[in-house]
Amino acid sequence: MPILRGEMRINEPMRKHISWRTGGYAERYYIPADLDDLANFLLKSPSEPMYAIGLGSNLLIRDGGLRGTVIALHGRLKDLRLIEQNQAGGLIYAGAGVACAKVARFAARHHLAGAEFLAGIPGTIGGALAMNAGCFGSETWGIVARVQVINRSGQMFIRRPGEYAIGYRSVKLQRTLTSTAETEWFAGGYLQLPGGDQTESQQRIKQLLARRVGSQPLNQPNAGSVFRNPPGDYAARLIEVCGLKGRCMGDAMVSPIHANFIVNTGNASATDIEALMMLVQDKVRKETGIELIQEVRIVGDVRGYA
């Protein structure tokens, strides 16, 4: 059996790794050396609960923490390379741990267009693939040619977009997995992009980032958009018309800058944030009849895993 080369931490405080800067402890926290090391680790850990995280955005870990192991992918599954290029465009491979913004800049440097929107996604490619992340009118799976996945047995293989049901902030495998051993994570994605002008793409990235800075509360801990936009409308608009901008629960607050962001103004607990999310959903439901669906993933125990 291969020797593991990564780093294992016990009772790791997840507030250090989550963009909301709150939440409980992970029973175990594994930082793989690379993709092969991750495969060996999964092979040795066939049954315990597993969670993969990148930059920790779009994620809330409850104050009681997590049983099992959190696998830290950011900076580890970091392969980023140009696979092929011709006059029509090119194909990029990006590992699950590569920051989306880095992929946007890489594509622009190689005269490829269509990935600029990734600069506005505050996460990694793995998370973007898992939820079909998007912004400024574009979505991740619109540029995906194929993906590399890894399962609980450490096996790696390629899947095509047609094998998934892909929707707004939703990606589900078409076939049903029959056992825990078949659980899969995205290890990387192959992105097909048309040819473009480097200067134009870089300018587009600057413009998109300027829009983010001007419209989002980036100076306070947050997890990005909290709720999905309902069909034909915007979650932020609904929250604002219900008078919820600035509403607080402990140190959690609906941002006065962008109503679909909940910010940690100091020492917010995960319980504060989740309670505020529920308050927002309840108020919007009662006043507009629209059910806001959370975009943020919530995991963990309320009272502790011990």
Report the alpha-carbon angle 167-85-91, nearest 5.
25
Q: CA dihedral in degrees (42, 46, 50, 52; nearest 10)?
A: 20
Report the alpha-carbon distance of residue 30 to residue 144 in Å, rounded. 28
1 and 37 in contact (C-beta within 8 Å)? Answer: no
Q: Which residue type occupies 20?
A: W
- Closest of 267, 249, 260 to residue 284, by C-alpha: 260
Residue entry with tokens 């993709």: 35
Per-residue DSSP letter, 120: G
Q: Which residues are catalytic?
A: 169, 225, 295
Report d(CA 11, CA 27) in Å as an integer: 5
Q: Which of 43, 117, 38, 106 is nearest to 74 (CA)?
A: 38
DSSP assignment of 11-39 equals EEEGGGTSTT----EEEEEEE-SSHHHHH
Helices H / strands E in the chain, number of each: 6, 18
45 HSE (CA, 13 A, CB side): 21
